[in-house]
Structure formats: structure tokens, C-alpha cells
Amino acid sequence: MKKNKKRIVYDKQENEYELTGKIGEGGQGIVLSTSIEGVLVKILNSQDELKKEKWLKQIEWTLNQNLSGLNLALPLAQIVKPRIGYVMELMDGLTSLQDVLEESYLGLVEEQSIAKYLETGGLRRRLKILSKIAKTLSELHSRGYAYGDISPANIFVSENVLYSEVWLIDCDNLCFNEKQGSTHVFTPGYGAPEVVKYNSNVNCLTDAWSFAVMAFELLTHQHPFKGKLVDDGEPELVEQQAYEGDLPWVYNEENCSNESSGGIDLALVANTTIQELFSICFTDGMKSPHNRPSLSKWRDSLQEAVDQLIDCDMCGANYFYNADLDKQICTICESTTPSEQYLVFQQVICSQGQAEAEINVFPVNNPRVLNEGNTLDFSSSPYNSELWFSNEASMSISLVEGNVEIIPNEGAVFEINRNEQSSEFKTRKRVPQSNRSKSAPYHLVSWFEDEIEDDEHLDLVKSYRWTFS
């Protein structure tokens, strides 16, 4: 029996890589696995000599950029024969976001069920994944780069649904944000209208569009511009119109001619803030790219959305906390979640009143929901600020059978106030469920001792507190 011939490629140093299977394919090339654990190879699929020369220069340029600290599977070495390409590393235990989408979508279409949506991590995991993607892209933009070809096929996430690690591959399309004559690559369905029409090269504004399309699709299992007009029209023609931004988006309140005709209702998977970001991007941002929400805005809003989710023990879904309701009702199965199953933290700003013991409290309207059996991390910085994302957490809080467990990190101290009495702790503190009362809420703040400069600095840190009852 004739054995299958090994497929071998070589880099500039004559190192060989045995190709073992295709992972994905885009407009420029094919991404393949190798016999070396954690090592992938991308091969250019064009034989055009000018394209090959331009691509090789792009790889050389990328190899010389300072992109450390970002979850990017960057080119490590050039493949030079028998085809050109490059080598990249990717941690084990990952799968493409495209595979996650397809698995969940098939369940929705073929079984008319959200079971696969829940099995692939549900709403919480999807929002976490999007938040981490937005964080990476936001940092990339802050360094003056654009990613260029955002799509589910270029993003890898944890295979295990209990985790939400995120890595971006296909980084050969990176470019300086405002460089003229730069890359123009996009995946059909995700390119910004001006890129699809070849009126613009990629930049941070086209990244913002592509991210919003991908986020909408991951949450709702529908494309934001493929509604009734696309379903009922001539496929190729109306689909191209959708990609070029010539049709209203499926939730356009002023023009419902292309309204949503499938997928999951946006209101079930996006809070008011996220819905507004989609609306801004796909209406004002369609013709005016500068109006599109930035990736830092998406990062902040997605993190807030993650923190506002309540877990439903009845159906396993997640839904958004509603401060206007006394009882929290699951939007999927309509069951009520018992109040002892979750705890709501609210950040406030405290200032000294006119009387010596008087403290003025101003809510910031940043609720964070802690579900039974879970843990939240807190820092001493204002919630969802740049410092919040960059500073180390100073304490973690768990909810165990209705009891609040407060655990300071090493070198940290926390202060807990109630009824004008306060105490400081450097070790674990337990607040029994029986002590919790809405009429007498707790105030909580934490900090690292070695980071406090003086009393004035400490007073500033203590002015931002978290309340719970």
C-alpha cells in the first residue's frame, strides 16, 4: 500500500515543518496545523509574483514591530519553500470562533433550540470573549496599529466552555493605522462599507465596524444587514448591497424594510448600552466612520454587560439585572431568581458633609452582580476606567450559600463600613447572610498599602466605595 507523502515546508533557516491539516482559509492564504505542538503555518495561496513580494515585505515588517504583551499569534519565521508563508505559535486547547458560531447556529436552525447556544458558553461566555477581543484591539489601536481583517475565522478561543481565552491569528494584515497604501484585505461580510467599495484602506475605524458585525453575529446568530430584503431578494445582488452598506440594518427604527427575520432577539442578548452601540455603528457610523464606537468604548461596555448578568438555575441561561424591578425574572424561561442567589454591588462616591460625621453618598450607577458560587475581583480604581483595567485586583469577593466572603490579595487591606462604624482587615472576612439588610448596607473599599503615598491619597482611594446589602 502506498503511503501518503508527507507535506513538508521550510523556513529561511532550513527548519522543516510537517503539515498535518487545514485549520482555516481566508482571502490570502491557508492556515495549517503542523506535527509540532502549538505551531501553525500560514501559506499564501497566490502565485502572483507582485503579491508574493508585497506579502513577504509585510511579514518582514511585522516581525520587526513591538507587539509584546498582546494576545496575537505573531509571525515568528518566514516559510520560503516550496511555497511562501510564515510560522506562528498558538497555545493548545483552542478552537476557532467560527467553529463555535457554526455549532451554535446549526442547533438554532436545525433544532429550533438555544441548547447549543448554552452548551457553547451561553451569553456570559460570548460577552467575555468579545470583551477580551475588544481589549486586545483597543490596546493595538493605542499603539498606532490596525488589525485589518477581523472575522471569527481569525480568532481562536478556549475549546473548554468553562474558559474564555482569546488569541488573534492571521496577523500578517497588521499595519500602521493611518498609513496610505496599506492593506486592503477583508473577509466577505465583515469588511467596512468603504473597504468593500475600495474607497479606503483598513484602519482603526474599519476595525471598529468589523468588530461590531462580528459581535452582533456572535450574540444574535444573524448578520446586521441580512434581513427580509436579503431573504426575499436576488441573493448575490442584495447580499453585495448589504455588505456595501446600501441597506438599513435589521433593527433600524426609522426604516424596517430590512427588519430581522431570524436569529435571536437582540434584546435578549444585549443590554441597553450594547444595543445603542450597535445602533450608532450601523446607522450614523455607516456613512460617517468617525461616529463608530471605538474599541475602548466596546471594551468598557462589554465588561459592564458581563458584570450585570444573573445566572438562571432553572434553564441555565444568563440575563441582565434590571434595577427597576424588585424581582429578577429570566427572559428565557420567565422564572424568578431568588434574591439569595445573587448579590448586587453598586459603586458610590463618598464625600465629607458639613457635619463632622456626615458622609454624602453619590451613586455612580455601575452595578456588578455576584452570582451564587462565583467570585468577583475588585481594585481600588474607579470601575471600568483605564486604571481599573491596568491595575492589579486588591480583593476578591465570593458568594457562598448567601454568605459574602471578602478576601484581600497579598499586601492589600480592605475597610468595611456600616452604620458609621468601620473596620480594617488584612485577612479573609465573612459577612453572614443573616447580617445582610437593605436598611443597613455595607460600604467596602480596598487598596495596596505600599501604593498609598499619604493621608490625602488614602482619603481619595476611600472616596470610591462599593455598597451591598
The number of residues in the chain equals 469
Which pLDDT belongs to residue 353?
63
The domain defined by 94-221+263-307 folds into Transferase(Phosphotransferase); domain 1 (1.10.510)
Distance CA 208, CA 328 (A): 33
Distance CA 220, CA 224 (A): 9
- Three-state SS letters, 48-78: CHHHHHHHHHHHHHHHCCCCCCCCECCEEEE
* Domain layout of the chain by residue ranges: 7-89, 94-221+263-307, 338-468
Q: Which helix (H) or strand (E) holds 210?
A: helix 204-220
Q: Which ranges of the chain have pLDDT less than 50?
A: 1-2, 180-181
Distance CA 114, CA 20 (A): 34
Query: pTM for the whole thing?
Result: 0.92
Which pLDDT belongs to residue 27?
61
Distance CA 456, CA 468 (A): 26
Cell of 373: 458560587
> Which of 208, 245, 206 has its CA nearest to residue 225?
245
The Cα angle at residue 303 between residues 431 and 335, in degrees rounded to 5:
65
Cβ(64)–Cβ(76) below 8 Å: no
Q: Tell me, what amino acid is at 164?
A: S
Which pLDDT belongs to residue 180?
46
> Which of 37, 26, 132, 141 has its CA nearest to residue 85?
26
For residue 411, the 8-state DSSP code is T
Beta-carbon contacts of residue 254 (< 8 Å; ≥ 6 apart): 248
CATH 1.10.287.130, applies to 7-89: no
Which pLDDT belongs to residue 407?
97
Cell of 301: 461596555
Which pLDDT belongs to residue 181?
43
| Whether the bond into 382 is cis, omega within 30 of 0 | no
**185-229: pLDDT as tens digits:** 788 999 999 999 989 889 999 999 999 999 999 999 999 999 999
Distance CA 176, CA 174 (A): 7
Which pLDDT belongs to residue 357?
60
User: Residues of 123-141 as b/e, b for ≥16 C-beta within 10 angstroms?
Assistant: bbbbbbbbbbbbbbbbbbb
Cell of 155: 480568532
